[in-house]
Amino acid sequence: MHRVAFVGVYDFNVFNNKLVINIWLLLFSIKFKIQTGV
């Protein structure tokens, strides 16, 4: 029971981390395009 809950929380944290990284990459790519004028 506890193990299933832990795995669910772990998967949720991994998903959140990937989401945050994707958002940061998107922001940096937009910033880079604006700076380079592409």
Per-residue pLDDT of 1-38, as tens digits, reads 556 666 777 788 888 899 999 999 999 999 988 888 76
pLDDT value for 22:
94
pLDDT value for 37:
74
pLDDT value for 2:
59
CA atoms within 13 A on the CB side of 30: 6
pLDDT value for 38:
64
Which range of residues forms the domain containing residue 2? 1-38
Structural domain total, the chain: 1
Running DSSP on this structure, what letter comes out for residue 37? T
